[in-house]
Amino acid sequence: MAIHAIRSRGLLLNEIAWVQCCVFVCWVVCGFGSCESSVNDVKASFVFGDSLVDAGNNNYIFTLSKADMPPNGIDFNASGGLPSGRFTNGRTIPDILGQEIGQNVFAPPYMAPTTSGDVLLKAGVNYASGGAGILNETGRNFIGRISMDTQLNDFANTREEIISMIGVQEAQDFLAEAIFSISIGSNDFLNNYLAIENLPERELVSPEQFIQRLIDTFRVQLTRLYNLDARKIVVANVGPIGCIPYQRDFNPLQGDGCVSRPNQMAMGFNTHLKDLIVELNANLSGAIFVYANVYDIVNDIIVNYKSYGFDVADTACCGSIGRHKGIIPCGRRSNVCPEHSEYVFWDPYHPSEATNLIIANRLLDGGPDIVSPMNVRSLAQV
């Protein structure tokens, strides 16, 4: 698939302004001497995954999975409240983590035509794509998406560009200091195995067999990332996908609680993923793979939402149709809650910026029950 080669079609003027603003900030910050140290001192971020962390890559491909219309981005200061392609009202988790480890600008989307040259050294790159999965066939219901394998191909291209700018050894040193983060797997369940159109396949493949296929594929992908010089790699597990408004509205017989089967499959995958992270740390010399227990963070927020300052934990702030506003994605005609920070979920599928902030802070400074073998702040300082 050549999705990753499609670059500039359909670029909106506000997107151009947003990316140019990021490049300008890089120039200002570094042009006055504050970035005169080696590029190896810069904690760039390289982000892989799905719509939870997409920074706008899907704006540049033909897909049904897009966040390029209001009110998405309404609280995203970097874009002036205009849509940037993020599937939330503000910042994503990698955006917040990047700021906390000292980045001056957000990692730009790989598909943006301006994502090249010095910006790669100052900010890194975001390769994530809404609808993407570990498996290449995941998300085909969206038509276009950039799978994990293709995202790795894109990173390989970035790596070659970095080598051409600063040489092999310095590029390896630079990448060894960068933070790599991966948030993927939810679509492999929601938009693959558990999708209605895949019912015949479910009769032939057990949940355990499907999970094992995911883990085997992910092992190869994470090892490839290591072989491309990544050394500090944060891997998020799959969250409680049975609790999102979309699942609640499409499974009304579950009552007021979360939908059990998606959550059971997510927990089964997470158990194997944690073992995989231990395996990779033992077998890949010099690597630090960090297991990020997003499932427990989000589950605790949903169960104890009042104590976190939320008013609503089961309904989308932006959506329409359905008891939980979980049937139609967020768009121009959606009903939008007046106080965005009071909702755990921004839309039928994705957390609000307020939720992302809590998750990011737990990953930054949390203990081994949440992030292991070390938290993200410690990882950045290694």
**Ordered alpha helix ranges (H), 228-352:** 245-250, 260-283, 294-303
- As beta bridge partners, residue 343 has 312
Strands 232-236 and 343-345: unpaired
Catalytic-role residue among 129, 229, 350, 372: 350
What span, in angstroms and rounded, lies between the C-alpha atoms of 175 and 62?
Answer: 31
Q: Which long-range contacts (CB under 8 A, 24 or more apart) does 81-86 make?
A: 82/14, 82/18, 83/14, 84/15, 84/18, 84/55, 84/56, 85/15, 85/54, 85/55, 85/56, 85/57, 85/58, 85/59, 85/109, 86/54, 86/55, 86/56
Specify the amino acid at residue 91.
R
- Annotated catalytic, 260? no
Unique residue bearing structure tokens 């890949």: 284
Catalytic-role residue among 272, 324, 347, 372: 347
- Annotated catalytic, 51? yes
- Annotated catalytic, 340? no
For residue 338, cis peptide bond before it (omega within 30 degrees of 0):
no
How many CB atoms lie under 10 A from the CB of residue 332? 8
Unique residue bearing structure tokens 């992302």: 356
What span, in angstroms and rounded, lies between the C-alpha atoms of 344 and 99?
Answer: 22
Strands 312-316 and 288-292: unpaired
Catalytic-role residue among 51, 181, 186, 352: 51
Q: What is the set of active-site residues? A: 51, 347, 350
